[in-house]
């Protein structure tokens, strides 16, 4: 593939897998029916915050050969890196541990000690604090085990020895990411600085562990600029799961620096998964990336011209356009997502009806859904409004990129900033709804949200 050719991954598609989803559902229901403590936890999650245990399921442990065969027949394949582990490469499903001494399940939490405190559980923890993998047997009954699992980039299913020095290095890396400089007069120098910071963390900890720390810091920064995110995070913290149900983070970038944004993410272990391009009229494109060890996804958005449909725009330095679409204007008003603006939004998985009802009771309003299918639902909270530096607006007006009326509205009233996204996935569907995204991106264009309009 040349630098300008359309990459092979560009047109990857995802399908629903109802048979595989049914196998998971049967296994989950069987285990919850036999472990009342875990079943009660699952009920609390669903009723209180709209999170389905299915959405944070990490693995299913199988002791029965017939059950293992059912997973094999439904698309699970042997993981070459871990003996006795099966994974489904074409859908969003938990791993399957075969040959277990007893059946069980594992569910993800962001911080294990916070989960145990929230659930008033006094049980031992396997794995050192801050290590890449920790677990605790939260509930067990009738020969079934239900584990709470904390992962920081590990793909293992048991703790591994980590030196005290390395654990300290991980804590320093997280603090460096949290405190990193975000404001730069020159974006290129900002990327040079950030590249060095990320490479140092990756060199000491590996890409996957460093990536987990990076995303944790990115979410924390976003929370300071998104009230719906803070409200929902507090609701999820009350149950001790944190953002264990996160699906993807969205970065907006100017065209000139998009290749550097993608470069940082690739250093952290993200791999380009598929391209989205809305067509000649819409003027936007997205590179979707996935970190295979974490399962985390990035939606990276930029402005595109019609003739750029068939290029690998993620790895080219693109020239400015004579106009700004949504992503370009958002960055011109607020800064790059990689720096002072932070991520545009975080999307997490829920029972969408219960989640929305709970947040609306807390005073958070939602936009109409832009995907509403049995296998995929997506809706943004109404945008958080951010003040805009008048100097940024002045520069846009001088360049003729916004009208005088638009400029004055931005100076006086600010512009739409960040969101939390309510997502429901079913039948193992890993993809997105391109026409729906096109529609909502048009709606949240800062020019469409002028107070005086």
Which residue from 117, 130, 300, 115 is spatially nearest to 213, judged by alpha carbons?
130
pLDDT in tens, 332-366: 999 999 999 999 999 999 999 999 999 999 999 99
Query: Binning pLDDT at 50, 70 and 90, where does residue 453 land?
Result: very low
Q: Give the confidence band of 276 by pLDDT, cuts at 50, 70, 90.
A: confident
Contacts with 164 (C-beta within 8 Å, 6 or more apart), sequence order: none
Domain borders along the chain are 18-151, 226-449
Q: Where are the beta strands (DSSP E) in 342-408?
A: 345-349, 371-372, 376-380, 385-386
Nearest Cα to Cα of residue 194 among 256, 290, 260, 250 = 260
Average pLDDT over residues 49-64: 97
Residue 141 pLDDT greater than 50, yes or no:
yes
Task: Supply the pLDDT for residue 11.
Answer: 67
Bridge partners for 285 per DSSP: 277, 302
| % of the chain at pLDDT higher than 90 | 85
Task: Calculate the CA 416 to chain-centre distance.
Answer: 21
| Contact assessment for residue 39 and residue 52, using Cβ atoms and an 8 Å cutoff | no
Tell me what the mean pLDDT of segment 186-215 comes to. 98
392 Rama sector, left if φ>0, alpha if ψ -120 to 50, beta otherwise: alpha
Among the residue ranges 83-87, 275-279, 295-299, the one predicted with the least confidence is 275-279
pLDDT tens column, 361-379: 999 999 999 999 999 999 9
pLDDT tens-digit series, residues 391-439? 999 999 999 999 999 999 999 999 999 999 999 999 999 999 876 565 6
Q: In the structure, what pLDDT confidence band is assigned to residue 305 with cuts at 50, 70 and 90?
A: confident
Residue 65, number of CB atoms within 10 A of its CB: 10
Strands (E), 33-143: 57-61, 77-78, 85-87, 95-97, 104-108, 133-141
User: Do residues 380 and 345 touch, judged by C-beta distance below 8 A?
Assistant: yes
* 14 C-beta neighbours (distance < 10 Å), count: 17
Mean model confidence pLDDT for the chain: 93
Q: Using alpha carbons, select from 315, 313, 264 the residue that is nearest to residue 291.
A: 264
Q: What pLDDT score does 1 carry?
A: 37
Helix, strand, or coil here: 85? strand
pLDDT of 5:
62
> Distance between CA atoms of 261 and 188, rounded to whole angstroms?
11
Q: What percent of the chain has pLDDT over 70?
A: 92
- pLDDT at site 10: 65
- Note the pLDDT of residue 92: 97
pLDDT grade, residue 441 (50/70/90)? low
- Residue 4's pLDDT is 59
Given a contact cutoff of 8 angstroms between Cβ atoms, the answer to whether 436 and 378 are in contact is yes
Rounded Cα distance between 352 and 360, Å, is 12
Query: pLDDT band at 307, cuts 50/70/90?
Result: confident
Instruction: Specify the DSSP element, H or E, that contains 251.
Output: strand 246-252
pLDDT band at 2 (very low <50, low <70, confident <90, very high): very low
For residue 452, pLDDT over 60 is answered with no
pLDDT-derived band at 109 (thresholds 50, 70, 90) equals: very high
Q: Enter the tokens of residue 297.
A: 């996804």
Cβ-contact 338, 251 below 8 angstroms: yes
Maximum distance among all Cα pairs of the chain, rounded to whole angstroms: 72
Q: Which of 101, 327, 340, 300 is nearest to 218 (CA)?
A: 340
* Dist CA 331 CA 338 (whole Å): 10
| Residue 354 main-chain phi, psi, to 5 deg | -70, -40
Nearest alpha carbon to residue 274 among 299, 243, 292:
299
Q: What is the dihedral of CA 7, 10, 11, 12, to 10 degrees?
A: 110
The reply to whether 226-449 shares the fold of 18-151 is yes
CB atoms within 10 A of CB 49: 22
CB 123 within 8 Å of CB 115 = no
pLDDT of amino acid 282: 58
Give the fold, CATH level 3, of 18-151: 2,3-Dihydroxybiphenyl 1,2-Dioxygenase; domain 1 (3.10.180)
Strand ranges in 109-237 using DSSP code E only, listed in sequence order: 133-141, 144-151
- Confidence at residue 194, expressed as pLDDT on a 0 to 100 scale: 98
Question: How high is the pLDDT of residue 277?
Answer: 74
Structure-token pair, residue 213: 């720390």
Fold of 226-449: 2,3-Dihydroxybiphenyl 1,2-Dioxygenase; domain 1 (3.10.180)
- Give me the pLDDT at residue 447, please: 66
- Read off the pLDDT of residues 66-80 as tens digits, 9 standing for 90 and up: 999 999 999 999 999
Instruction: Provide the 8-state DSSP code for 92.
Output: -
Rounded mean pLDDT of 33-39? 98
């Amino acid at each position: 593939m040349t630098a300008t050719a359309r990459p092979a991954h560009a047109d990857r598609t995802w399908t629903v897998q109802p048979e595989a989803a049914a196998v998971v559902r049967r296994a989950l229901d069987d285990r919850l029916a036999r472990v009342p403590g875990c079943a009660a936890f699952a009920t609390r999650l669903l009723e209180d915050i709209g999170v389905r245990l299915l959405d944070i399921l990490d693995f299913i442990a199988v002791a029965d050969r017939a059950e293992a065969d059912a997973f094999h027949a439904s698309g699970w394949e042997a993981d070459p890196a871990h003996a006795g582990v099966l994974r489904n490469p074409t859908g969003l499903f938990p791993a399957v541990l075969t040959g277990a001494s007893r059946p069980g399940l594992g569910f993800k939490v962001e911080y294990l000690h916070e989960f145990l405190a929230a659930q008033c559980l006094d049980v031992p923890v396997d794995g050192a604090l801050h290590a890449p993998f920790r677990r605790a047997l939260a509930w067990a009954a009738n020969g079934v085990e239900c584990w709470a699992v904390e992962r920081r980039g590990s793909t293992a299913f048991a703790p591994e020895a980590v030196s005290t020095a390395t654990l300290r290095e991980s804590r320093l890396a997280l603090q460096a990411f949290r405190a990193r400089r975000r404001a730069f007069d020159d974006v290129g120098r900002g990327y040079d600085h950030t590249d060095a910071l990320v490479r140092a963390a990756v060199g000491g900890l590996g890409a996957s562990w460093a990536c987990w720390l990076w995303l944790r810091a990115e979410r924390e920064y976003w929370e300071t600029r998104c009230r719906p995110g803070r409200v929902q995070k507090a609701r999820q913290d009350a149950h001790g799961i944190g953002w264990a149900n996160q699906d993807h983070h969205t970065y907006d970038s100017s065209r000139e620096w998009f290749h550097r944004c993608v470069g940082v993410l690739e250093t952290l272990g993200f791999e380009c998964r598929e391209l989205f391009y809305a067509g000649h009229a819409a003027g936007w494109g997205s590179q979707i990336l996935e970190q295979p060890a974490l399962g985390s996804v990035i939606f990276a958005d930029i402005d595109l011209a019609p003739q750029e449909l068939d290029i690998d725009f993620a790895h080219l330095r693109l020239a400015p356009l004579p106009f700004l679409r949504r992503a370009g204007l958002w960055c011109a008003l607020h800064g790059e997502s990689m720096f002072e603006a932070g991520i545009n939004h975080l999307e997490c998985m829920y029972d969408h009806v219960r989640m929305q009802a709970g947040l609306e009771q807390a005073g958070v309003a939602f936009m109409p859904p832009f995907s509403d299918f049995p296998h995929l639902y997506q809706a943004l909270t109404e945008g958080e409004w951010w003040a805009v530096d008048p100097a940024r607006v002045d520069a846009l007006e001088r360049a003729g990129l916004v009208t005088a009326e638009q400029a004055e509205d931005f100076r006086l009233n600010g512009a739409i900033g960040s969101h939390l996204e309510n997502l429901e996935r079913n039948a193992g569907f890993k993809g997105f709804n391109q026409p729906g995204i096109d529609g909502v991106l048009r709606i949240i264009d800062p020019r469409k949200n002028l107070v005086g309009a």
